[in-house]
């Protein structure tokens, strides 16, 4: 604990965070985990103080010992009508007595010295700076109530440090580069992480608020005037923005790097975006993906090597595992499984061994990055949501597990498709009837209209073993309205109407 109550990178892992020694990485990460549990989590965390009451912290010596800590998930922290304050039990809540119990002799001496020089009020102030929640991020899941995750000033410093490292990984130069963000203004991680990238790297950044706030036309005018090197946002809206700019003959040639978060970024999607930018005069544009989730309070990014490099982690701040989604067993490097996250530092809201629901195709690696040479643990960029496998009653006899990831990837990557939407519904809007899968698309080339619907239906059936009930061709403007491209925080790609079947319109 710093005597100023603020986060500053420290320790062997932090000094060379992007080139840790592979031989000592496991030992150092487990040392940091034990210290974090002993000094912060078990004394101050209401949920884990009870949940981990019998844990022998010193038994956590290797990655294999992580099994001693139970998994957690969204359902553990999400509020319900019966327990609306559940997220608060995941916030560190120290008091004067509990703090005294965990201070080392050196830390006690530091606090005594601070009290002598500046008074007891200063000690209280610094402890408040470290632990007092000052901001909240929100996530919405399957529950009706949003889940809040709280950050202290310490956590905001960590967020900015992550932003600094993201800038290093993608190689921003604040003497020449400029950044435009089209993420919506919202109490969500994506907006504030980009703010951290700009602030920590002293990079001039324009936050437009996206289409809802500034409008696509206004953003395009700003892009031409500002001539940014970097553009970031949700993939669907960034594609819409660049496509419209290219079609209108706007000069977007200054854009060198797109970094995209909030949705899966497929290879076909990257290809479409780089093709658009090249056609507009951008030389060798790069598309990189960003991953973050509210529960982590920070994001990770690919280096400019792109999809082959994977997400570069921060070994002094986080520990990642890949586990079998069925058994929970830890998997070796290179094997596909579910991403599990444990923070090694942080204040505010904390959740341990968090099952993200992201399936990482290709798993983790501890080998040096082939593009930038960093030796941080990396996990593959090819990820899909486990929750996107949904059970559909396609017959009255039995259900069928349908992998929507396969369908959405196919539509995103298709050379025929410009925009798309998938709707799940009940036949005749009858809750007792079978499920139906409806696909609507707008086409990149109107001349493919005679073959597109049948061809897409066949491709979807071959890829997912489910044939759509309908494939409808829709004009782009209507499709953009259906998606809520400029009116929603995130476009409505997959709409599930089954639970509302039979209700009055």
Tell me the CATH number at 436: 3.30.300.30
Separation between Cα atoms, residue 419 and residue 479, nearest integer Å = 7
Separation between Cα atoms, residue 266 and residue 100, nearest integer Å = 51
* Cβ atoms within 10 Å of 170's Cβ, excluding its own: 22
| Residue from 249, 306, 257, 304 nearest 279 by CA | 249
* Cβ atoms within 10 Å of 9's Cβ, excluding its own: 17
For residue 421, being part of any structural domain is answered with yes
Q: Tens digit of pLDDT per residue, the chain (505 long)?
A: 445 678 989 888 888 999 999 999 999 999 999 999 999 999 999 999 999 999 999 999 999 999 999 999 998 998 888 888 899 999 999 876 666 666 666 666 666 666 777 777 776 676 778 899 999 998 865 445 788 999 999 999 999 999 999 999 999 999 999 999 999 998 999 999 999 999 999 999 999 999 888 999 999 999 999 999 999 999 999 999 999 999 999 999 999 999 999 888 988 899 999 999 999 999 999 999 999 999 999 999 999 887 789 999 999 999 999 999 999 999 999 999 999 999 999 999 999 999 999 999 999 999 999 999 999 999 999 988 776 667 667 655 556 778 888 899 999 999 999 999 999 999 998 888 888 999 999 999 988 999 999 999 999 999 988 899 999 999 999 999 999 998 888 889 999 999 888 786 5
Tokens 């899941």 belong to 141
For residue 155, being part of any structural domain is answered with no
For residue 471, being part of any structural domain is answered with yes
Strand blocks (E) in 248-349: 257-260, 286-293, 298-301, 311-312, 318-323, 337-343
Contacts of 402 (CB under 8 A, 6+ apart): 389, 390, 391, 392, 437, 464, 466
Count of domains observed in the chain: 1
| Neighbouring-strand partners of residue 234 | none
For residue 391, being part of any structural domain is answered with yes
Separation between Cα atoms, residue 292 and residue 464, nearest integer Å = 28
- Which two structure tokens, joined as six digits, stand for 134? 């000052």
401, 389 contact by CB (below 8 A) = yes
361, 384 contact by CB (below 8 A) = yes
| Residue from 345, 292, 291 nearest 155 by CA | 345
Question: What does each C-alpha distance from 352 to 44, 48, 415, 434 come to in angstroms?
Answer: 14, 9, 42, 40
Domain span at residue 420?
A: 387-500
471, 456 contact by CB (below 8 A) = yes
Helix axes 404-413, 267-279, angle to 10 degrees: 20
């Amino acid at each position: 604990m710093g005597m100023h109550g603020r986060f500053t990178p420290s320790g062997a892992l932090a000094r060379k965070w992007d080139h840790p020694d592979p031989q000592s990485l496991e030992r150092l990460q487990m040392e940091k985990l034990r210290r974090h549990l002993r000094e912060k989590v078990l004394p101050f965390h209401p949920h884990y103080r009870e949940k981990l009451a019998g844990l022998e912290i010193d038994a956590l010596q290797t990655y294999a010992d992580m099994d001693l800590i139970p998994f957690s998930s969204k359902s553990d922290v999400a509020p319900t009508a019966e327990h609306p304050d559940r997220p608060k039990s995941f916030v560190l809540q120290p008091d004067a007595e509990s703090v005294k119990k965990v201070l080392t002799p050196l830390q006690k001496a530091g606090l005594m010295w601070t009290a002598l020089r500046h008074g007891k009020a200063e000690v209280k102030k610094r402890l408040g700076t470290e632990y007092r929640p000052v901001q909240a991020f929100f996530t919405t899941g399957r529950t009706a109530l949003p889940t809040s995750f709280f950050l202290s000033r310490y956590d905001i410093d960590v967020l900015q440090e992550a932003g600094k490292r993201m800038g290093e990984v993608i190689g921003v130069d604040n003497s020449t580069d400029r950044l435009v963000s089209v993420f919506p203004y919202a109490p969500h991680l994506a907006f504030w992480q980009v703010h951290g990238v700009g602030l920590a790297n002293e990079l001039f950044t324009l936050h437009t608020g996206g289409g809802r706030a500034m409008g696509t036309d206004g953003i395009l005018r700003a892009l031409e005037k500002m001539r940014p090197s970097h553009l970031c946002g949700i993939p669907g809206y960034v594609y819409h923005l660049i496509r419209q700019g290219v079609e209108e003959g706007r000069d977007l040639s200054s854009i060198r790097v797109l970094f995209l978060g909030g949705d899966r970024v497929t290879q076909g999607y990257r290809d479409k975006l780089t093709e658009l930018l090249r056609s507009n005069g951008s030389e060798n544009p790069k598309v990189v993906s960003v991953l973050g989730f509210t529960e982590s309070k920070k994001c990770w990014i690919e280096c400019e090597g792109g999809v082959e490099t994977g997400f570069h982690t921060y070994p002094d701040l986080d520990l990642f595992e890949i586990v079998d989604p069925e058994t929970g067993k830890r998997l070796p490097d290179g094997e596909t499984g579910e991403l599990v996250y444990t923070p090694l530092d942080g204040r505010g809201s904390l959740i341990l061994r968090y099952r993200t629901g992201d399936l990482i195709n290709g798993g983790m690696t501890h080998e040096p990055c082939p593009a930038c040479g960093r030796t941080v643990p990396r996990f593959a960029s090819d990820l899909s949501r486990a929750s996107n496998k949904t059970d559909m009653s396609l017959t009255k006899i039995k259900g069928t597990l349908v992998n929507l990831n396969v369908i959405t990837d196919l539509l995103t990557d298709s050379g025929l498709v410009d925009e798309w939407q998938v709707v799940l519904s009940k036949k005749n809007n009858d809750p007792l009837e079978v499920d139906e899968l409806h696909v609507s698309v707008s086409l990149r080339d109107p001349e493919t209209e005679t073959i597109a619907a049948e061809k897409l239906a066949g491709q979807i059936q071959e890829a997912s073993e489910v044939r759509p009930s309908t494939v409808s061709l829709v004009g782009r403007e209507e499709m953009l309205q259906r998606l809520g491209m400029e009116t929603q925080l995130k476009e409505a790609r997959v709409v599930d109407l089954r639970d509302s079947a039979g209700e009055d319109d």
